[in-house]
Amino acid sequence: AQIEILKKRTETKDEAFEKARLVTHHSLVSRRDKTNSQTKKNGEDSAGDEQMDQTAPVASIDIESIQPIETDKPSNFYKRRLESTVKEIEEEKSKKNLSEKDPEVALQKFQRAKTDLDAKYHQIETVQVNIDLMIADVKQRQRTWRKFRSHIANMTNETFDQMLNKKGSSGEIAFDHSAKTLNLTVQKDNTDRNMSQTKDVKALSGGERSFVTLSLLLALGENLETPFRVMDEFDVFLDPMSRKIALETMIHVAKDLGHRQFIFITPQDLSNLQTDPMLKIFCMKNPDRNLQGPTQQTLEFES
């Protein structure tokens, strides 16, 4: 039994010497690297042939020829340093939540965390792709909307001029989409090139201004998809000729747009108009004049 104990102690001593020689080897290599680094900075040649190569495998190094460095400090000093270093390592592991000691369990946790991270990155990439597609779609919609807006403005301008031509006038609508305004230009006689154009509608007479306004409303309505159009007292300030032209124009436009319904309300006489299947005239009775005041009237629609 004593021989076995002595043998184990001898083996333990040999292992300790081997570890000490390896530590000495790494220490010498570290010192050599520091010396070479300083030598390169100072522009001197390095004596690499006389020192060991750090990249050389441990098996090719003559460990027996390396003698451990003698120290005058007791073993307890290095034991305390080792324990302090181990304690610092454990504290860093605790701060970084690396308390798992089983390598397989730690590897599984790492793989799960990496899988979750990759999934999150994939979600972020998917969201970014969708954002880019939506931005491109919005830009395309804006370009289409601008073209459509320009088309409506041009068609409204042409229709407005056609409405005024029925009375021998001409006009133009200038749309300012940035300022969100529109300006009217009217020429009373489109056959007289020397006649100045009027940009201020207020300078026109009451009947002319009403006809221009009516033409504008008809031009806007014809280029907008509105199923119902109601105009109230549109001919109050019109002279007889302008009123006749306005009525004929409105009725003609209403019949051309049979898929829409027009309602014209006027206090003027409409006895000169002939009704047809597309044109109905409803006339309200005159209110009764009495002391109690007028009573509300209703229209009797045909079923």
Render pLDDT for 190-209 as a digit per residue (tens, 0 to 9). 777 666 778 887 787 777 78
> pTM of whole model > 0.75?
no
Cβ neighbours of 260 (radius 10 Å): 15
For the chain, percent of residues with pLDDT exceeding 90: 17
Q: What pLDDT score was predicted for residue 214? A: 81
Higher pLDDT, 121 or 189: 121
What b/e readout covers 157-189, taking b as 16+ CB neighbours within 10 angstroms? bebbbbbbeebebbbbbebeeeeeeeebebbbe
Q: Check pLDDT > 90 for residue 270.
A: no
- Secondary structure of the chain in the HEC alphabet? CHHHHHHHHHHHHHHHHHHHHHHHHHHHHHHHHHHHHHHHHHCCCCCCCCCCCCCCCHHHCCHHHCCCCCCCCCHHHHHHHHHHHHHHHHHHHHHCCCCCCCHHHHHHHHHHHHHHHHHHHHHHHHHHHHHHHHHHHHHHHHHHHHHHHHHHHHHHHHHHHHHHHCCCCEEEEEEECCCCEEEEEEECCCCCCCCCCECCHHHCCHHHHHHHHHHHHHHHHHCCCCCEEEEECCCCCCCHHHHHHHHHHHHHHHHHCCCCEEEEECCCCCCCCCCECCECCCCCCCCCCCCCCCCCCCCCCCC
How is the chain split into domains, by residue range? Answer: 225-284
Structure confidence at residue 126 as a pLDDT band (50, 70, 90)? very high
User: Quick one: average pLDDT of 8-16?
Assistant: 65
200-241 confidence digits (pLDDT tens): 877 877 777 878 888 888 888 878 777 888 888 877 777 888
Tell which phi-psi region holds residue 233, choosing left (phi > 0), alpha (psi between -120 and 50) or beta.
Answer: left
User: Quick one: average pLDDT of 20-26?
Assistant: 71
156-191 confidence digits (pLDDT tens): 999 889 888 877 888 899 999 899 888 998 888 777
Cα–Cα distance, 74 to 83 (Å, whole number): 15
Q: What is the greatest pairwise CA distance in the chain?
A: 143
Is 67 within 8 Å of 28 (Cβ atoms)?
A: no
Torsions phi, psi of 196, nearest 5? -75, 150
User: Quick one: average pLDDT of 252-275?
Assistant: 84
Q: What pLDDT score was predicted for residue 55? A: 47
Structure confidence at residue 59 as a pLDDT band (50, 70, 90)? very low
